[in-house]
Amino acid sequence: MTPAISLWESYMVETLLAKGMSSSTLISYLQNEDSKALNDFDDTFDYAELIQASNKANATIIEAIQSDYRIKYVSKFGIKKLLDLKFSLQEGTNYRMEDAKFYDIPLNEDQLETLEKMFEPHWKFINKRQTESGYLVDLLHVTELE
């Protein structure tokens, strides 16, 4: 079963990974409850919160770092932030966003698979179009599907 973490936890994990921290180092800091090392590496968040979450659901956070994960609930602004953190994709430059819809997101197969797992069951990828480098896809909230 794919582990599920909160959007806030995913922001903290993805920020550290995007700034160059390895998964194994992150896991080590969490297991050793070393918030100072995490906050020295990046001061965007108070990483004591991630350590606290990890202590409550250790296996879930660690498993999420090691593999794909699902976000318990993700808003359209959460998706926008994660597309930027994880893949450096930005609205207006790489894709379009209108209401609860994202259009023409460029993804390779691995990225698409990761995001499908991450955003289910609340968001669905539709209109997958093959390109030279992967796909262009649209993402809609399930309430927008007819």
pLDDT for 121: 86
CA 67-122-1 angle, 5° bins: 35
pLDDT for 51: 95
- Structure tokens belonging to residue 89: 């994709």
* Helix, strand, coil % in the chain, rounded to nearest 5: 50, 25, 30
Cα separation, 34 vs 26, in Å, equals: 10
- Structure tokens belonging to residue 72: 């318990």
pLDDT for 58: 67
pLDDT in tens, the chain (146 residues): 788 899 999 999 999 999 999 999 999 999 999 999 999 999 999 999 999 999 987 689 999 999 888 888 889 999 999 999 999 999 999 999 998 899 999 999 999 999 999 998 889 999 999 999 999 999 998 888 76
